[in-house]
Amino acid sequence: MSKFLRRLRYWIQHRKLDAELAEEMEFHRAMLGGESGPGAAMGNTTLSREDARAVWIWPWLESLWQDAAYALRTMRRAPAFALTALLALGSAIGLNTSLFTIFNAIALRPWPVRDPARVVTLHRFGREGGGDFGIAEYRYLAQYSRSFSGLFAARNGERVNLQDRPRQLTYVSGSYFRVLGLEMERGRGFLDQEDTTGAPVAVGVISHSLWENQFAADPEIVGRHILVDDIPFTVVGVTPADFTGTNPLRNDIWIPLAARKLLRPNDPGVDRWLTSPEDCCTPVAGRLAPGATRAQAEAESAILIEQFRAHHGLNKHESRIVAAGTAWIETPHKKRQVVPVILTLFLAVTLVLLLACANVGNLLLARASARRREIAVRLSLGGSRFRLVRQLLVESMLLALGASGLGLLMALAFPGAILRRLTPDQAFRAVPDTNVLIYTAAIAILSCIAFGLAPALHGTRGRIAEGLKAEAGAQGTRRTRLPLRAVLLSVQVAISVILLANAGLLVHGMQRAEEVDPGFDVRNTTVLSIDLPASQYTGPRSMELTRDLIAVLDGSRQLPACGLTLNPPLSNATYSTSFQIPGRQGPVLHIYTNEISPGYAAAVGMRIVAGRNFVAEDSGRDVLIINEAAARRWWPGESPLGKDVLANRKMERIVGVISDTYANDLSSIEAVLYFPLNGHWGAPFIVVRDRGPASAERIAAMVKRIEPRAQVRAEPLAASFRRVLQPSIYASELAGFLGLLALVIASVGMFGVFAYVVGQRTREIGVRMALGAQPSEIVRLVLGSSVRALVCGAAFGIAAAGGISTMLAHALPGIEPLDPLAYAGVVALLSGAVALASAAPASRAMRVDPVRALRWD
Amino acid sequence: MGKQESLELLPGTLDLLILRALVRGRLHGYGIAQILKAASEDVLEVGESSLYPALQRLLLNGWVTAEWGASDNNRRARYYTLTAAGRKQLAAERAEFERMVAAIHKVLQTA
């Protein structure tokens, strides 16, 4: 072994050692030259040097090559083994690599900008919670900070109509493109003076894909005017093709922060957003100045923020600023949310990999015992055990290499497709890169050790004499049977039970969730949303429109039940207000609210439980309806009708009680106050009791008659319902896929073991049959020990699955960790797989011909 | 290890001779060649092409170590020193070699 270490040292330092050798030989030559004149040649110096170097390298490489060639020959002689092992291992490695590719694309990659290592995002942590920054705060930071060569603010996620198509818009500071250091495809990025609060300039930068798709890659795009929500903006640049923005979602157009005033002229919130020292929630990032560290940037920003607050007479915040890298995983508050999910996923695919390793390990073990004689012969001829183990490990490594090749192919195809299915609007590039290659190589080597080392050590352990004596039929006695095989079999069964059980729990939990009555009619309702040029529609205009819409649609005789609301069921939005009951003590509560028209309850299938529904004349009156949950909570055992409450600091009278619904998710029912819809928050949603498109089209036409520029989109309520269930659906699909894959791999493994055991004990079976044993006894004898291993594995797997699913239940509501139906299903599936895997070997055992078996040699 | 190799005359024997030459103290490659030449009364002239691979082999097996030092004429030269393992190997190989020579001698005399 020390020889191996010296060789390793040579490999590491070979450059230096080669130079030393050359110098040494040069010395020799000089001495010879001094002896008998320059003519005394020493032969070919280079060749001599090569010969001397080869001492270190050649035998090693040569024997490695021999091992590899030998391994390939052996595998070609057992193609079924090689193929099974490659497929089992390849699918497991492919799964791992695909998951890592996705993880890498989403979470590990920094922003696609110049020198991303110097760009950091700023995060504030304080006693009053964390968050981002106000625009005024950002401008102060940008003006006084010395540890950044440049700072920028970017607020994403606004939907706009760009030339009448819905697009994503991001507001950015004038410094954005300069700080990121992008080389624009066309034109330029923004100038600092184009983003001055109070002096907005209508300029925009569009994305490469928008330029190609909507503007046909127009070479004259720079300088063109485009309409954003009916406001003309001048295109000044196009981003490079590989720039996907500084957030995970696709983005189509960027405009300066100050230009929000142009886009939303009637919205008083914009002025507050741009100038209020107390505003929050705009992400800020910057490029560190040469030589500045993150710690310096954090400390300086914290001081500047306190200065800013003191300057504006705000109380001390004592906030801590964290400068984090731009890769998604480094975002501080994301970490806590996402890491458990990622760990669960990696745990699951690692289990599949372990299962595949146990499977291939078992196959190798069976082969090793079949090759016992060969190995014994080689040992007796003086082959060292180390050398033999290495030979067997080279075989494993070849398998692992082939499997990682398969895995990488999978990683090329799957991750992109999966991501596109999860979120069509994302901008990730899910292609394998260096990180993925390193990851794949690492798991290939680890799995090779996991499945290869034990069988190799195990197989070369036996005493030589025994191995030489052992004949095909004689070694299957209880004494020499390898217990490692039983352990590996148990591991496979346990892992597949864990994965199957969790899949069963998720799928069953899913089915229960689908059957939950959310309190409204999911199947027969369609929701229509109205897109208006937001620049024109605020306050009075939208109230006017809402009044007109209610008049035409609400309770219309020509349509199925139809109503309007501020916030349709299962949308992503929530509205809330302060709430107090006069005469009762206690703090001011915050409570969910919604606004509805008189026809709404009938349209979505809610019932008025007590009191009355709204009528058209209620609009503008101080009346409200509460849901049953609110009635139970504040007026248990008495009627809330006619009671007065303070909502949003206004006295309102309760006129009715309406049935409960799940509002935003399916986990809990909250107390809700319903007010008469009046439209001051913007255009309402229309709900109609009809699943087909016919009513939706008629309503869209009616809306267009009132407001020709409105765009109406219809979506069945069932689609929103599915969206809420989507994470659970994906989780159960993935778990089901992993569980089935595990079962298939484990079944192949079981089949291999059964077939091997029967083959090995053919002679013994023959003897027993000749002595009158019944076929059923034979089957019990031969498969008994394997079945014991199966039962052990299953028991362990069920216990572990119970533990894991109890933890999982915290992350995914709707799971019942000890769901008997799921476990019964797993046991049934597993029994089926065992029956399938043992059928052929068992029937072979029963058909053994005693006469032939006894002659067998 | 190596028992059969010593039968192939030169490579195994050269290793033995180098080890023997180093018994009296450290030498550089050129020095080893000089000693072998002088001790064999000019019969053995070891060329660089066989000397340096042999030295590398001895290094690889851990029988000698090498270090840089100044030669008699004040040039940088690599000196080889026998290790404990090398001494043991020399004793073993030498015994083996002498038995072999005696055996060959006997065969030659009887024949």
Which of A2, A20, A43 comes nearest B49 by C-beta?
Answer: A43
Determine contact, residues A367/A442, Cβ cutoff 8 Å: no
- Pick from A843, A846, A857: which is nearest to A766 by CA? A846
Check pLDDT > 60 for residue A215: yes
CA dist A187 and A195 (Å) reads: 17
Mutation target to probe the A interface, by most A beta carbons within 10 A, among B46, B52, B58, B74 is B52
A257, two tokens: 């922060």
Kindly tell me the sign of the dihedral angle through the C-alpha atoms of B19, B21, B27, B29.
Answer: negative
Most confident by average pLDDT, A5-9, A520-524, A598-602, A758-762: A598-602
Question: What integer pLDDT is reported at residue A43 of this predicted model?
Answer: 60
Question: What integer pLDDT is reported at residue A667 of this predicted model?
Answer: 66
Backbone angles phi, psi at A674, to 5 degrees: -110, 130
Question: What integer pLDDT is reported at residue A265 of this predicted model?
Answer: 77
Question: What integer pLDDT is reported at residue A42 of this predicted model?
Answer: 53
Question: What integer pLDDT is reported at residue A538 of this predicted model?
Answer: 61
- Report the length, in residues, of chain B: 111
Mean pLDDT over residues A653-673, rounded?
83
CB count within 10 Å of CB A739 equals: 25
User: Which residue, chain included where needed, has tokens 């499997």?
Assistant: A403
CA dist A297 and A288 (Å) reads: 8
Contact between A27 and B49 using a beta-carbon 8 Å cutoff: no
Question: 3-state DSSP call for residue A476?
Answer: coil
Check pLDDT > 70 for residue A464: no
Cα dihedral A526, A532, A534, A535 in deg (nearest 10): 180
CB count within 10 Å of CB A166 equals: 12
A659, two tokens: 């049935």
Burial letters B33-61, b for 16+ CB under 10 A, else e: bbbbeeeeeeeeebebbbbbbbbbbbbbb
Determine contact, residues A225/A179, Cβ cutoff 8 Å: no
CB count within 10 Å of CB A615 equals: 12
- Pick from A160, A164, A180, A163: which is nearest to A172 by CA? A180
CA A241 from centroid of its chain's CA atoms: 25
Cα dihedral A662, A667, A668, A674 in deg (nearest 10): -30
Strand extents, DSSP E, A520-661: 526-531, 562-565, 575-580, 589-596, 608-611, 623-627, 644-647, 650-658
pLDDT in tens, A13-62: 778 888 888 888 888 888 877 655 444 445 667 777 777 777 777 777 77
Check pLDDT > 60 for residue A856: no
A628, two tokens: 């049953």
Most confident by average pLDDT, A366-375, A413-422, A453-462: A413-422
- Pick from A292, A319, A5: which is nearest to A151 by CA? A292
**Which residues in chain A are closer than 8 Å to B68, comparing Cβ atoms?**
20
Cα dihedral A408, A412, A415, A417 in deg (nearest 10): -150
B12 close contact with A: CB closer than 8 A: no
Contact between B52 and A52 using a beta-carbon 8 Å cutoff: yes
Residues of A with CB under 8 A from a CB of B: 2-3, 6-7, 10, 20-21, 23-25, 27-32, 42-45, 47-49, 51-56
Mean pLDDT check: name the lowest of A215-229, A776-790, A843-857: A843-857
A665, two tokens: 């998710």
B53 close contact with A: CB closer than 8 A: yes
Angstrom distances, CA of residue A746 to CA of A549, A735, A790: 62, 16, 11
The alpha-carbon gap from A42 to the nearest alpha carbon of chain B, in Å, equals 7
CA dist A613 and A597 (Å) reads: 9
Kindly tell me the sign of the dihedral angle through the C-alpha atoms of A332, A334, A337, A341.
Answer: negative
Check pLDDT > 60 for residue B53: yes
B96, two tokens: 């083996």
pLDDT in tens, A275-296: 888 777 788 999 999 999 999 9
Q: How much is the mean pLDDT over chain A?
A: 82
Angstrom distances, CA of residue A366 to CA of A294, A355, A759, A782, A806: 57, 17, 11, 16, 37
Mean pLDDT over residues A687-711, rounded?
85
Backbone angles phi, psi at A210, to 5 degrees: -65, -40
Determine contact, residues A798/A468, Cβ cutoff 8 Å: no
Residue A17: closest C-alpha in chain B: B56
Backbone angles phi, psi at A485, to 5 degrees: -60, -40
**Which residues in chain B are closer than 8 Å to A28, comparing Cβ atoms?**
29-30, 33, 48
**Which residues in chain B are closer than 8 Å to A48, comparing Cβ atoms?**
47-49, 52-53
B36, two tokens: 């072998």
If you ran DSSP here, which 8-state letter would residue A815 be given? -
Question: What integer pLDDT is reported at residue A784 of this predicted model?
Answer: 78
Determine contact, residues A191/A250, Cβ cutoff 8 Å: no
Q: Which residues pair with A595 in a beta bridge?
A: A675
- Pick from A303, A282, A333: which is nearest to A133 by CA? A282
B3 close contact with A: CB closer than 8 A: no
Question: What integer pLDDT is reported at residue A465 of this predicted model?
Answer: 57
CA dist A728 and A703 (Å) reads: 36
CA dist B104 and B108 (Å) reads: 6
The alpha-carbon gap from A395 to the nearest alpha carbon of chain B, in Å, equals 26
Question: What integer pLDDT is reported at residue A475 of this predicted model?
Answer: 44
Most confident by average pLDDT, A160-174, A201-215, A316-330, A709-723: A201-215
Which of B30, B49, B61 comes nearest A3 by C-beta?
Answer: B61
Q: What is the gyration radius of the CA atoms in chain B, in angstroms? A: 15
A544, two tokens: 């006017």
Residue B55: closest C-alpha in chain A: A52
Determine contact, residues A389/A460, Cβ cutoff 8 Å: yes
For chain B, report the end-to-end CA distance as a whole number of angstroms. 31
Mutation target to probe the A interface, by most A beta carbons within 10 A, among B10, B26, B30, B42 is B30
- Residue partners of A838: CB distance under 8 A and separation at least 6: A750, A751, A754, A783
Angstrom distances, CA of residue A471 to CA of A62, A442, A850, B43: 34, 40, 17, 58
Mean pLDDT over residues A453-466, rounded?
71
Residue A56: closest C-alpha in chain B: B60
Question: What integer pLDDT is reported at residue A811 of this predicted model?
Answer: 62
**Which residues in chain A are closer than 8 Å to B52, comparing Cβ atoms?**
21, 24-25, 48-49, 51-52
B13 close contact with A: CB closer than 8 A: no
CA dist A783 and A477 (Å) reads: 13
Q: Which residues pair with B82 in a beta bridge?
A: B64
Residue A736 banded pLDDT, cuts 50, 70, 90: confident
**Which residues in chain A are closer than 8 Å to B71, comparing Cβ atoms?**
27
- Pick from A363, A368, A373: which is nearest to A755 by CA? A363
Determine contact, residues A657/A625, Cβ cutoff 8 Å: yes
Question: What integer pLDDT is reported at residue A849 of this predicted model?
Answer: 77
- Report the length, in residues, of chain A: 857
Burial letters A28-52, b for 16+ CB under 10 A, else e: bbebbeeeeeeeeeeeebeebbebb
Q: Higher confidence at residue A762 or residue A237?
A: A237
**Which residues in chain A are closer than 8 Å to B70, comparing Cβ atoms?**
none
Q: Which domains does chain B have, with CATH numbers?
A: 5-110 (1.10.10.10)
Q: Is A601 exposed, middle or buried (0-12, 13-18, 19+ CB in 10 A)?
A: buried
Mean pLDDT check: name the lowest of A188-192, A403-407, A522-526, A727-731: A727-731
A644-647 and A650-658 as β-strands: parallel, antiparallel, unpaired? antiparallel
Question: 3-state DSSP call for residue A439?
Answer: helix
**Which residues in chain A are closer than 8 Å to B57, comparing Cβ atoms?**
55
If you ran DSSP here, which 8-state letter would residue A314 be given? P
Mean pLDDT over residues B31-41, rounded?
86
Question: What integer pLDDT is reported at residue A596 of this predicted model?
Answer: 92
- Residue partners of A778: CB distance under 8 A and separation at least 6: A765, A768, A769, A845, A846, A848
Question: 3-state DSSP call for residue A638?
Answer: coil
Angstrom distances, CA of residue A246 to CA of A249, A395, B27: 9, 46, 67
- Pick from A116, A106, A136: which is nearest to A281 by CA? A136
CA A794-A797-A798 angle, 5° bins:
85
Determine contact, residues A648/A605, Cβ cutoff 8 Å: no
pTM: 0.70
Backbone angles phi, psi at B47, to 5 degrees: -85, 160
**Which residues in chain B are closer than 8 Å to A46, comparing Cβ atoms?**
none
A161, two tokens: 């109509």
Question: What integer pLDDT is reported at residue B111 of this predicted model?
Answer: 61
- Amino acid, single-letter form, for residue A176: Y
User: Which residue, chain included where needed, has tokens 């036409």?
Assistant: A701
